[in-house]
Chain A
């Protein structure tokens, strides 16, 4: 067994940011384990721009953005291993990984940061009715084929779900010569960022069918056509509203799910985001095991992934110095009306820093609303929002001074009229 201070699982933006932050806070014995052959994770296939507006005040492509972080990792001499797959971790912080050179290795870590990203919800998860044929693929996989391997997956494309990867791929495949026939979105609103609706659909005259879903896939071997239907208020297809599109590809952009198997498998409590429940230091229920980035909750912008990675890196450094303790008084957060989940799941009243951040996603687009933070039923802070949409992650600063007692902190959306 090898001993290491800090093992970071995942060399994407969260993992790299965490490594750099940990180093800058004094940790020297760091190992990043990355399963693919490149640092940078999903950013490698995101060749469009729009990354880094907050982190670098510039609009970068995915590869440009990751290169800046990869350089920070390399400049500091932080050790990373590529092609290295972590098969398990234990509650005692033993990390098992394998790669071609090292074999199968167990590391006793003092601290672990899980930054394993997310995966795409796919056809199997939602059970799209109809024929099971080739040509039904997730938008991210089509992006991987196109941007990393140089292959187009189809000529006539329909897209289910208005998530950002789908929107980006609508534009990308159109530019590559494919005909994108439309995007169907189950909800009555788009799930992508507004800028992507404009730049990827409207600018290319690609229709967006809100409150529609794919009600049938048709084909033998390869997809030949799909049917979409309007859905009722319970999201069920309405018979008689079917529209047929001849297409060879159905791209799915129907959501991302934290790739949290390593922590789920050892029984670490989950939060509502399907990532692990963490405290304000992004520490899970196990001392010294942290989670950050899309494995904790799916982010809208990589800039926020990076800032979260830094929090985890800094916290791991504190932990390794023995300065990260758990107090006995805590506040548990609850996702109230209109709120999908809240990160962190709990706050340690004794150990929390002065400035706290709460992150969440709303459930549906809402106008003229207060984001209300109530501690044990008493409102401690409100933020007015003209509009709030599910595709954007909300980040609210809350000073620790407002958290005056143990109990429950509920985050909810309340209409402006109600005082």
Chain B
């Protein structure tokens, strides 16, 4: 085989695979690629993994009852859902298979519920039709007007923050290289490889996997014109505190419409409640603002499902942007011209549920045959166990603190997060540079006081750990410095 001098010249730095984007999809692609002996580099424009769509969504592992049979959405949703219990065990991520209920409030909706039941059946998703009485017994706070409900026992809820962070941590532990705060500005095919240029550097690689989320269209177009486009579709949510005696025990959906799955009422793996999302196309891929009218509408629709939601427990509102494809289905395929440039785009709902299956498929079916790699002999499927003092008995916790006193020092009062847990996160292979990164991984600052008490301590810990001035520490994105100057 003729080897071009160009390749020889650059070979030492040549990557096998560059993944663009470290959202939940990019992180799972990286994780499944780390099973092979490959030089894989992940480039992420944000200063943390999972910092855009992957952190602002409903955190649901859908059962797969809703996607149209035969679509990629149906296939990867159902497959992903089946992978979740094991993946979350390996990655030490909170996951609960709590089940979901599609709720018919009007008699006229029962027909639609039956359509959904048929779809679920075609997708191979177990369901059970519940009578109004059964639904009320399972969900005492549900609208008493409920006529029937479709129960999907395999639906679940997951912590999306640690899911992404731990999937990437697992990949990095297995040898994947991760560059944060490095946005891709250009991709060129040069001979039989790619030149990927970023705002900091440039790299060569054999295979590109485009997992750039909202910006996957822009990345795809660096190689060739595409027939599809990604439209940002905003969803706004309320978050309620965890409180006794609680609101719901399952994920509650209204009947799906052309606008999506509707306004849901659900719990999270941390015992909070999430209400939303709205669904509106917006012009900007950077518009994460919330507005009162939309949220008022979310509230109105949610109370049709659960009439007495205690909104005084509200601790936050937020907005996320779905990367909605104009094709209506996930785009998971090589570019038209090059089989080694792979687009993984338009991963809107049920994207989170599908992400492990997408990652596995991209790695094993699309990338592996291109490079014929050997198995990674040191591959480990699990991350180093996270210590969770809150889940321990008093004796275990006492023993832990005697060994490592940092677990006795509570930093976040609302969520009971210790210094030990925060410093553990800082010792991991995926860095956590910002207050938000710590918050996402540990829940410090997630509670009812929203960091009122713990944020200064977290900020100082970050400054100490990274040998920075507290003035340099960011809350989240570039420019989000918390402190302005030292006082007089």
CB neighbours (8 Å) of A366 from chain B are none
Distance of A178 from chain B, by nearest CB (Å): 8
CB neighbours (8 Å) of A120 from chain B are 449, 452
Contacting residue for A176 out of B400, B405, B487, CB 8 A: B487
Minimum CB distance partner of A155 in chain B? B484
CB neighbours (8 Å) of A135 from chain B are 480
A121 CA to B401 CA in the complex, in Å? 33
Contacting residue for A129 out of B290, B402, B485, CB 8 A: B290
Minimum CB distance partner of A36 in chain B? B453
Decide if A103 touches B398 in the complex (CB within 8 Å): yes
CB neighbours (8 Å) of A264 from chain B are 243-244
Q: Is A327 on the interface with B (CB-CB < 8 A)?
A: no
Minimum CB distance partner of B478 in chain A? A221
CB neighbours (8 Å) of A259 from chain B are 413, 449
Distance of B117 from chain A, by nearest CB (Å): 36
Decide if A100 touches B408 in the complex (CB within 8 Å): yes
CB neighbours (8 Å) of B480 from chain A are 133-135, 221-222
Interface-lining segment among B3-11, B217-225, B254-262, B312-320: B312-320
Decide if B484 touches A151 in the complex (CB within 8 Å): yes
Q: Is A138 on the interface with B (CB-CB < 8 A)?
A: yes
Within 8 A of B (CB), among A197-252: 215-217, 220-222, 237, 248-249
Contacting residue for B397 out of A98, A123, A144, CB 8 A: A98
With contacts A127-B238, A138-B452, A150-B487 known, is A85 near B479, CB below 8 A?
no
CB neighbours (8 Å) of A222 from chain B are 479-481
Decide if A152 touches B405 in the complex (CB within 8 Å): no
Decide if B484 touches A124 in the complex (CB within 8 Å): no
Minimum CB distance partner of A177 in chain B? B488
CB neighbours (8 Å) of A248 from chain B are 484
Distance of B470 from chain A, by nearest CB (Å): 6
Minimum CB distance partner of A122 in chain B? B450
Q: What are 19 A-B pairs with beta-carbon distances under 8 A?
A: A87-B410, A98-B407, A98-B408, A100-B409, A120-B449, A123-B450, A124-B314, A124-B315, A141-B455, A144-B456, A145-B456, A146-B487, A149-B456, A150-B486, A151-B484, A152-B483, A222-B480, A261-B448, A267-B244
Decide if B479 touches A129 in the complex (CB within 8 Å): no
Q: Is A61 on the interface with B (CB-CB < 8 A)?
A: no
Q: Is B331 on the interface with A (CB-CB < 8 A)?
A: no
Distance of A61 from chain B, by nearest CB (Å): 16
Q: Is A153 on the interface with B (CB-CB < 8 A)?
A: yes
Q: Is A378 on the interface with B (CB-CB < 8 A)?
A: no
CB neighbours (8 Å) of B289 from chain A are 129-132, 216-217
CB neighbours (8 Å) of B364 from chain A are none
Decide if A132 touches B290 in the complex (CB within 8 Å): yes
CB neighbours (8 Å) of A257 from chain B are 448
Distance of A294 from chain B, by nearest CB (Å): 13
Contacting residue for B448 out of A83, A100, A101, A119, CB 8 A: A119
Within 8 A of B (CB), among A83-110: 83, 85, 87, 96, 98-106
Beyond contacts A125-B448, A221-B474: 11 other A-B pairs, Cβ-Cβ < 8 A, are A98-B418, A103-B397, A103-B408, A104-B398, A124-B314, A127-B317, A135-B480, A141-B452, A152-B487, A221-B477, A257-B448
Q: Is A309 on the interface with B (CB-CB < 8 A)?
A: no
A347 CA to B395 CA in the complex, in Å? 41
CB neighbours (8 Å) of B286 from chain A are 220
Within 8 A of A (CB), among B289-345: 289-292, 295, 314-319
Q: Is A340 on the interface with B (CB-CB < 8 A)?
A: no
Minimum CB distance partner of A88 in chain B? B416
A129 CA to B319 CA in the complex, in Å? 11
Among A131, A140, A249, residue most surrounded by chain B Cβ atoms (within 10 Å): A131
Q: Is B72 on the interface with A (CB-CB < 8 A)?
A: no
Q: Is chain B's binding surface mostly helix, strand, loop or mixed?
A: mixed
Distance of A284 from chain B, by nearest CB (Å): 15
CB neighbours (8 Å) of A50 from chain B are none
Within 8 A of B (CB), among A57-101: 83, 85, 87, 96, 98-101
Q: Is chain A's binding surface mostly helix, strand, loop or mixed?
A: mixed
With contacts A104-B394, A122-B449, A248-B484 known, is A221 near B479, CB below 8 A?
yes
Distance of B459 from chain A, by nearest CB (Å): 9
Per-residue CB contact flags for chain B residues 456-476 toward chain A (1 = under 8 Å, else 0) read: 100010000000001100111
Q: Is A35 on the interface with B (CB-CB < 8 A)?
A: yes
A134 CA to B484 CA in the complex, in Å? 11
Q: Is A338 on the interface with B (CB-CB < 8 A)?
A: no
Chain B residues with a Cβ under 8 A of chain A: 238-239, 243-244, 286, 288-292, 295, 314-319, 389, 394, 397-402, 405-410, 413-414, 416, 418, 448-453, 455-456, 460, 470-471, 474-488
Decide if A129 touches B448 in the complex (CB within 8 Å): no
A217 CA to B480 CA in the complex, in Å? 14
Minimum CB distance partner of B290 in chain A? A129
Among B238, B402, B448, B460, residue most surrounded by chain A Cβ atoms (within 10 Å): B448
A103 CA to B393 CA in the complex, in Å? 12
Q: Is A387 on the interface with B (CB-CB < 8 A)?
A: no
Minimum CB distance partner of B409 in chain A? A100
Decide if A124 touches B292 in the complex (CB within 8 Å): no
CB neighbours (8 Å) of A144 from chain B are 456
A149 CA to B483 CA in the complex, in Å? 11
Per-residue CB contact flags for chain A residues 15-48 toward chain B (1 = under 8 Å, else 0) read: 0000000000000000000010000000000000
A102 CA to B397 CA in the complex, in Å? 11
Distance of A216 from chain B, by nearest CB (Å): 8
Decide if B483 touches A127 in the complex (CB within 8 Å): no
Distance of A295 from chain B, by nearest CB (Å): 13
Decide if A141 touches B288 in the complex (CB within 8 Å): no
A265 CA to B245 CA in the complex, in Å? 9
Among B289, B314, B399, residue most surrounded by chain A Cβ atoms (within 10 Å): B289
Minimum CB distance partner of B460 in chain A? A149
Q: Is A365 on the interface with B (CB-CB < 8 A)?
A: no
Decide if B290 touches A127 in the complex (CB within 8 Å): yes
Contacting residue for B292 out of A129, A146, A177, A267, CB 8 A: A129
CB neighbours (8 Å) of B455 from chain A are 141
Q: Is A182 on the interface with B (CB-CB < 8 A)?
A: no
Decide if A100 touches B449 in the complex (CB within 8 Å): no
Decide if A35 touches B410 in the complex (CB within 8 Å): yes
Q: Is A154 on the interface with B (CB-CB < 8 A)?
A: yes
Decide if B476 touches A221 in the complex (CB within 8 Å): yes
A222 CA to B474 CA in the complex, in Å? 10
Minimum CB distance partner of A138 in chain B? B452
Distance of B478 from chain A, by nearest CB (Å): 6
Decide if A104 touches B401 in the complex (CB within 8 Å): yes
Decide if B394 touches A129 in the complex (CB within 8 Å): no
With contacts A134-B475, A221-B476, A222-B481 known, is A124 near B408, CB below 8 A?
no
CB neighbours (8 Å) of A133 from chain B are 480
Decide if B401 touches A127 in the complex (CB within 8 Å): no
CB neighbours (8 Å) of A154 from chain B are 484
Decide if B408 touches A119 in the complex (CB within 8 Å): no
With contacts A104-B408, A127-B295 known, is A132 near B484, CB below 8 A?
no
Minimum CB distance partner of B286 in chain A? A220
Decide if A124 touches B450 in the complex (CB within 8 Å): yes
A145 CA to B405 CA in the complex, in Å? 26
Minimum CB distance partner of B238 in chain A? A127
With contacts A96-B394, A129-B291 known, is A140 near B452, CB below 8 A?
yes
Kindly list the 3 A-B residue pairs having the minimum CB-CB distance in the complex, ordered from nearest. A221-B479, A124-B316, A134-B480
